[in-house]
A and B are shown apart, each in its own frame.
Chain A
Amino acid sequence: MWNKISKWLKRLLYFVAFYALMAAVIFAWQMVSHRLSDPDADLVDKSELDTQNRLTQNAAIIEQVREFVTKNRTPQYERDAHSKPHGCVRATFEVFDTQAKYNYGIFKKAATYEAWIRFSNGSVPVLDDPKKDARGMAIKVMGVPGEQLLPPILSGATQDFVMINSPAFFIRKISDYLDLEIRTTQGKPFTYFLGDYYLNPFKWKLRELYLGLGTRKKPPATPLSAQYFSMSPYKLGPHEIKYSAKACEDIQAPGINRDDPNFLREAMKKVLKRQDACFQFMVQVRDPEARMPIEDTTVIWSEKKSPFVPIARVHIPKQEFDTPDQNAMCEALSFNVWHGVKEMQPLSHVNELRRDLYMHTAAYRNVRNGVHQDEPTSWCDSLSKYCDEPEPLEVIEPIVIEEEELGVEEVEAEAVIEE
């Protein structure tokens, strides 16, 4: 009897070992083959047909997301991603007086703008803060001059920056995005990575699984103490860039119970009650010679080849943000990378999808929830209580980075390009 059981157990063990070995080999193969290939080669549209199929898929994704949002209503219609906010804080976006190279769009000249920042957890349905998750930071800079990307009916004078705390996305193709979206709505997102019954190795997308799991990170001490990345590329005048916001200091929030399901909000409340916070806003210019693809957002642009250069600062003044009216206003806002000026047009098919997807989902949410939020022009425009604040916006002298400091980086960067 026991013999029989142990014989079968052994077989099971061999079976598992075989699959584990296969998984390891396939994973290694997928990582290496992707590293060795031209990442954009299979992603750019080669014909009119490709473009049309992609557009059809975009429309299907929007429809799928609408269904997902309807399914996950609480009973409010929430965002299809990043639906759990940690709070919406007032901030000023201070553009440095930088080199001419960066002087496009909002970075044309040194200036200070009012902004809203929304911090969030990525997963839907929402997870408790202590669990592994992607954390988001979305900045809406208001009163930005310049011609907007969206038609007037949909745009204000804002420049949105949308980031999460990972430098790379885990989906390469629009068709994959649609597949994942369908499976997520069905409630079985893992079948996207491993195939319907997990056992067919030809359906495994282990590299994407690895990257996807990589975006789920342990929570930072506070939302104000992490680095956030745009993942997808944007134009900056003639350049292509990715951007990132990095906390100026590693702010800790002592006395916060890290097991509290909402501790990130509590931590941020505690920190902002006693001190200001700040982020460095940086851009990374694409080097066309290096392995810095536009379409494949799963590839991290090498910081060695082209480092992130700080060209602005996000200043978050001491404040109390966790009020019902501010939370409600923030929920109605739509952060969309296409809220912005033409000189900073989003690139890549993923961003092209995000335009319609975010516009439609936000409008769907708002109309269903019976709220109406135009693109705000200032703090005062969003909430009247900030209108009669006694002291006017403190105009901070633009910080001029010492020429040498920037210069060194520039020279290095250029040297790399020449190499």
Chain B
Amino acid sequence: MMSKIFATLSAAVKAVIAFVGGLISGFFRLLFSGIRNFFTVKGFFKTIAALLILIVVGAFGFLWYTSNYPNIPAYQEIAEYRFLNPSEDKRCVNPDPQNPNAEDPNNDLMIPAYQGWCEEERQAYYRIPQGTDFFGLQYDWMTALEKPVGKKPLVTREYMQQLGYVYDPAKKPNVNNPNDLPVGLTWHYTKEGDKILDVTCSACHSGQMTYQGVGIVVDGSPGGHAIPSLDPTQLMANSIVALTMTYINPFKFSRFAKKVLKDVSDDEYRAKKKRLRKQIGSTIWQALKYARYNLFLYPTTEGYGRTDGLGRIANTVFGDYMTPDNYKIADAPVNYPHVWDIWAFDWVQWMGSVRQAMARNVNEAMGTRARANFTHAEGLYQNSVMMSEMHCIETTLQHLEPPTWPEDLFGTVDRELAKEGEKIFDETCAKCHGPFPRMAVDGKVDYAATAKNHSCTTCHGPTMVGSDGQLLDLTNRKDHPPVQISPNDWLGQGPEFANDTSWRDQSERGGYWEMIHIPLDYIGTDATSALNMINYKYDLSILVDNVKKKRAEGSLLRLPDPKAIPDVTKAGFAQGLQYIGGEVRYKQYREWGLMGPTGYPPPPSEHAAAVADLDGFGEVDDPVAWRAYRPRPLEGVWTTAPYLHNGSVPSIYQLLLPAEERDATFYVGRKEFDPQTLGINVEKFKGAFMFDTSKTGNSNLGHEFNDGLCGDGVIGYEIKERPGYCRQLTEQERLSILEYLKIHTDGKRPDPESKPHCENMTWPDKSSATFSAADLVPSTKKQGGN
């Protein structure tokens, strides 16, 4: 009996070996006979066939490997979630009460707000879309997709958390999140009724840290994923690969269609399935087109938690949406900034380049692939940016508070030590990090405070080096960028500003906190981001030609302001986006009936207040590109590692060291908090991304506390008896600053004075969709297609 079984088994094994061997030897025979007779027709095709087989088998093997053994960080289960900064009163309705008995005094029907938010605001921030569209990927596709090889689902909690995406701590799907996707992944509708996957603000600007198995929710803190990555193990590329495999493999497609079209009635099914197939094909095609141009534009790998924001916005808006001539190398990845206080800033972005919230948001949405048409006159400026939704998000953020240090989790704060740190902070750090309140009591600008807060050395260092690297010529104040230092005293107010009141206007309305710009030559941090923004020029002529065409037909659309853009083929990054973003913004305002007969901001009208509110405190969109970076207030900054704009320093402790003592390489991809150094654990681990500070854009120099002359990257600690000279901090001083930063507050937070402005929001109402995929296709082509 046994021997019979054995004989059968061995025969089976032999057969398999013979079969596989036959396949392999057959392949090689095909290949070699092809190569030998390569110059005959038969031989040529044999070779090609053999190579094709090799490629297909190789690709399949590769996909099988990446599907099952991707080189990404290991999964870390989160047993418990913690929120920070509970409010004193229980003002929020508990969405998931454990003890709903109203009679019981210990009921948990009402709970505190965390970071100033109740569940309603949190859900709004997590899921309200902004209009982004990644190649037409649809919301329902994400959960229906299988891994490129095999039948396992692609998007699982485990996989997504490995990639650094975070999940709603509520742990179960809700109406805003029916498919249980990570925070920030949501949907919007097109006119055709398609439910497009929408990557919204919170995808990158809401994070969680882990600490010994506890997930710490820090709303508004930087995200930790690598969403723009074209690495096939990362979400976007993997989805496209999986979609391609679905397209190729009819069985896979049937399974996919069954899941996506589960609510479709039988008689409609065939037609819908056909349409679905067409849509998938179109998405794959768009993604390939994107990859063709974008594959080599990002030589410095961004890794987890970073993206070259400005560079990608430019390549999308000026490149993808206009002309391939505008693609520029974007080698300056930056951290996702934290957002619990940005609404109060009068300058945003790491370089402090943009003033107006709505301008920044519109451009950011387009940079994150919200659709827009600039290339053909018909439907010019049609776009999928959802401005009322973004306004709701922006105003919801006004109520978000910074995280506070949970002493029960991370240990008590040594108040004595913190007091020492506070002293150093006040005399050194606060000089730049502020905050500097702009509004005095009765809504007027408090110039006395401004003057007290800033002297020339605040921005230029004790050695007074200008942004051009030259020692400052104090007599030549006209060359200074326009900065107001008292009611009638301006730096840089040359004659050209005599009739230009925009600067004055905006400084009087202004944000709540005044931001300053520290020239590169003083702060010494990686210059690539700033220099790319300053140096790159873009060709807008396609768009401008379309505008001219429209104007010839009687339209009132604006041409670029020749003062900002003297040559439309060489528009600066800031000016170009100001123009394009402005047009997109005004188009929406016009459609809402907020603009005068010219279609542009009229002299004060009954709508002025509404427009000012949408823009954000009536800020004028007047971007700058200076050789400088902008310091920001530091409350809650301990949750935002790694540090500096490019994420090149793993902890605040290292940020207080001389640059040569910082880690030259370290490993990112998880956010395990380290309460000792106020940073994240950056030891090597499997699947980590190695951050190499020697690469372009990754420099960890600057912002150092070192010995020698202050300036050129050395920002402290200034020796009191020797002005202009700096020294290292002592270990005790470093520890005291760390201790203080745990409890540092920026003082009284400005009061936004209102509820979030979400009345005009239409999401998720299907019928209100404004954008159609057809808007992007020129009408001639449309007719040709019919």
Where the two chains meet, the residues of A that have a C-beta atom closer than 8 Å to any C-beta of B are 48-49, 51-52, 55-56, 58-59, 62-63, 66-67, 70, 149-151, 153-154, 355-356, 359-368, 372
Contact = CB atoms under 8 A, between A and B. Distances in A.
B725 A62 contact: no
B535 A359 contact: no
B471 A364 contact: no
B456 to A, nearest CB: 10
Given A51-B468, A151-B464, A153-B723, A63 B701 contact: yes
B535 A52 contact: yes
Contacts of A361: 708
Nearest to A67: B660
Given A56-B527, A59-B713, A153 B462 contact: yes
A66 B660 contact: yes
A52 B531 contact: yes
Interface string B191-228: 00000000000000000000000000000000000000
Nearest to A360: B709
B524 interface: yes
Nearest to B707: A367
Contacts of B659: 63
**Which 3 pairs from chain A and chain B are nearest by CB?**
A364-B708, A363-B709, A367-B707
Contact of B521 (A55, A66, A359, A367): A55
Contact of B725 (A49, A51, A355, A367): A367
A154 B724 contact: yes
Contacts of A359: 463, 709
A52 B528 CA distance: 11
| Interface of chain B: mostly helix, strand, loop or mixed | loop
A364 B706 CA distance: 8
Given A154-B463, A363-B708, A367-B725, A55 B660 contact: no
Given A63-B701, A153-B462, A55 B469 contact: yes
B534 A52 contact: yes
B782 interface: no
Given A66-B660, A359-B463, A367-B725, A151 B707 contact: no
Given A151-B472, A364-B708, 13 more contacts: A51-B468, A59-B524, A59-B713, A66-B660, A70-B660, A153-B724, A356-B712, A359-B463, A360-B711, A363-B725, A364-B707, A366-B708, A368-B708
Interface in B659-697: 659-660
A55 B709 contact: no
Nearest to B659: A63
A49 B535 contact: yes
B781 interface: no
B471 A150 contact: yes
25 contacts: A55-B520, A55-B521, A59-B520, A59-B521, A59-B524, A62-B712, A66-B660, A70-B660, A149-B471, A150-B471, A151-B472, A154-B724, A356-B465, A360-B708, A360-B714, A362-B709, A363-B709, A363-B725, A364-B708, A364-B709, A367-B707, A367-B708, A367-B726, A368-B707, A368-B708
Contacts of B726: 367
B566 to A, nearest CB: 15
A232 B260 CA distance: 74
Nearest to B457: A153
Contacts of B708: 66, 360-361, 363-368
Contacts of B306: none
Contact of B627 (A52, A62, A70): A52
Contacts of A48: 535
Contacts of A153: 462-464, 723-724
Contacts of B707: 363-364, 367-368
Contacts of A355: 471
A58 B727 CA distance: 22
B722 interface: yes
A153 B701 CA distance: 25
Contacts of A150: 471
A50 to B, nearest CB: 11
B463 A367 contact: no
A368 B725 CA distance: 11
Contacts of B709: 154, 359-360, 362-364
Contacts of A67: 660
Contacts of A366: 708
Contacts of A367: 707-708, 719, 725-727
A70 B728 CA distance: 14
Contacts of A151: 463-464, 471-472
A52 B524 CA distance: 13
Contacts of A364: 706-709
Contacts of B714: 360
Contacts of A372: 722
A21 B660 CA distance: 44
Interface in B701-743: 701, 706-709, 711-714, 719, 722-727
Contacts of A52: 527, 531, 534-535, 627
Contacts of B472: 151
A389 to B, nearest CB: 29
Nearest to B723: A153
B702 to A, nearest CB: 9
A202 to B, nearest CB: 23
B348 to A, nearest CB: 23
A358 B520 CA distance: 19
Interface in B63-77: none
Contacts of B468: 51, 55
A418 B701 CA distance: 53
A360 to B, nearest CB: 5
Nearest to A353: B469
Contacts of A49: 535
A58 B724 contact: no
A151 B660 CA distance: 28
Residue among B535, B701, B708 facing the most chain A CB atoms (10 A cut-off): B708
Contacts of B660: 66-67, 70
A58 B701 CA distance: 14
A65 to B, nearest CB: 11
B7 to A, nearest CB: 61
A63 B713 contact: yes
B464 A59 contact: no
A150 to B, nearest CB: 7
Interface string B79-95: 00000000000000000
B465 to A, nearest CB: 8
Interface string B526-570: 010001001100000000000000000000000000000000000
B279 to A, nearest CB: 44
A56 B659 CA distance: 17
Nearest to A153: B724
A62 B712 CA distance: 8
Contacts of B706: 66, 364
A64 to B, nearest CB: 10
Contacts of B531: 52, 56
A200 B660 CA distance: 33
Contacts of B534: 52
Nearest to A53: B531
B771 to A, nearest CB: 38
A147 to B, nearest CB: 12
A58 B711 CA distance: 13
A69 to B, nearest CB: 10
A58 B463 contact: no
A67 B658 CA distance: 11
B533 to A, nearest CB: 12
A149 B464 CA distance: 13
A410 to B, nearest CB: 35
Nearest to B528: A56
Contacts of A51: 468
Contacts of B713: 59, 63
A323 B298 CA distance: 60
A150 B465 CA distance: 11
Nearest to B727: A367
A66 B709 CA distance: 12
A190 B427 CA distance: 47
Residue among B472, B524, B722 facing the most chain A CB atoms (10 A cut-off): B722
